[in-house]
Amino acid sequence: MEFLPDLTFSVWVAAAMGFCIGSFLNVVAWRLPKVLERRWLEEASHHLSNAPLITEFAGLSAAQSTSTATQAERVFSALESQPPFGLAQPASHCPQCKTRLRWRDNIPVLGWLALRGRCAHCGAKIPVRYLAVELGTGVLFGLIAWRFNEQPIALAWCAFASVLLAASLIDWDTTLLPDDLTYPLLWGGLLLAWLGWTIPLDSALLGAMGGYLALWSIYWIFKLATGKEGMGYGDFKLLAALGAWLGPQMLLPIVLGASAIGAVAGLTMKFSGALREGVFVPFGPFLAGGGLVVMLAGAPRVMEWMGWA
């Protein structure tokens, strides 16, 4: 902590910043999966353009492999000719009419309220989730600033919460936990521990290893017993990242909290008709929720809840 400047981080400033970050998280949740899918398609088409490789591993004839490679080259060239697409490009626009949004339409919270949840050009509905994410992020940032006594370290925990929120939204929509989010979260936790800003480095390392191996073991036990996959590898990485930030003693409370949150959400979805047969409910958002609860409560209080104090 000696590296941090002697500044305060107001709860209200944190909340206002959270509204803005929440607006950006909406962009991340919608665009990042598409960015990754485009990247994967480019990589796949690049590899499929290698006819000898197709012949060797796919067992196709030379003529079939050449035809497949030719089509893959066309796909790759078409992708290369497309305009840039990322988190910053193109500019924000309505998904329905493609009209570029005015600057005032992008003001967090107020923009949605002023538009009354509809596009100003075509009248298409703007999902209320956008508003909920902005408001929720603002409230969460305010709670973090309050939890850490308005100290600058709260900024690091706000970044922690932001990545968890973005990962949760993406996992809920796509059942995908991108490495582009879980790896930076993991390495960021280890870096801050090394700097002495969070927990001791040995605890961070044990938390990361324990988090990954715990869910990895459960995954393989379940798969060997049932022949089915109960969770994805992204869940292992997410719990490893949470362990790097919160330490090995918090892993069990996080998983228990995630299970409790998941059970409540599952029952709610079942009774509301949102949970249908064969629909997979991702575990990542509940892990993130468990991690946020543990972070806001603090280790001493969690230890008391668990009867370990």
User: What letter represents residue 82's amino acid?
Assistant: Q
Nearest to 66 by CA among 51, 53, 76, 56: 51
Position 1 pLDDT exceeds 50: no
Supply φ then ψ for residue 100, to 5 degrees: -65, 135
Total residue count of the chain as it appears in this document: 309
Distance CA 190, CA 206 (A): 10
Residue 4 has pLDDT above 60, yes or no: no
pLDDT given at position 2 = 47
N-terminal to C-terminal alpha carbon distance within the chain: 25
- Asked if 212 and 149 touch (Cβ cutoff 8 Å), the reply is no
Q: What are phi and psi of 102, to 5 degrees?
A: -75, 160
pLDDT value of position 278:
62
Q: What is the pLDDT of residue 276?
A: 62
Classify the phi-psi angles of 85: left when phi > 0, otherwise alpha if psi is within -120 to 50, otherwise beta: beta
CA distance 145 to 13: 9
Q: Taking 70 as the threshold, does the pLDDT of residue 168 lie above it?
A: yes
Q: Do 185 and 241 form a contact (C-beta atoms < 8 A)?
A: yes
Four-residue CA torsion sign, 82, 85, 91, 95: positive
d(CA 120, CA 107): 14
Q: Which residues contact 147 (CB under 8 A, 6 or more apart)?
A: 154, 157, 295, 296, 298
How far is it, in rounded angstroms, from Cα 163 to Cα 262?
A: 20
* Residue 6 banded pLDDT, cuts 50, 70, 90: very low
When comparing pLDDT for 267 and 18, which is higher? 18
Q: Give the C-alpha separation, 195 to 215, whole Å.
A: 28
| Res 22: pLDDT | 96
In the chain, what are the domain boundaries? 175-309
| pLDDT at position 177 over 90 | yes
> In this structure, which amino acid lies at residue 140?
L
pLDDT tens, position by position, 49-80: 999 999 989 888 999 999 999 999 999 999 99
What is the C-alpha separation between 268 and 29, in angstroms, rounded? 24
Cis preceding-peptide flag for 90 (omega within 30 of 0): yes
Q: Where is 137: in which H helix or E strand? A: helix 128-147
Global pTM reads 0.91
Query: In the 8-state DSSP scheme, what is residue 101?
Result: P
CB atoms within 10 A of CB 107: 16
Residues 242-270 have a mean pLDDT of 92
Which amino acid belongs to residue 297?
A: A
Task: Read off the pLDDT band of 145 (50, 70, 90).
Answer: very high
Tokens of 256: 């228990």
CB 231 within 8 A of CB 220: no
Q: How far is CA 290 from CA 8, 131, 294, in A?
A: 27, 23, 6
Q: What token pair was written down for 117?
A: 């949840």
Please give the Cα distance from 219 to 210 (Å, whole number): 14
Residue 288's Cβ-count burial label (10 Å; 0-12, 13-18, 19+) is buried
pLDDT band of 171, cuts 50, 70, 90: very high
Rounded to the nearest integer, the mean pLDDT of the chain is 90
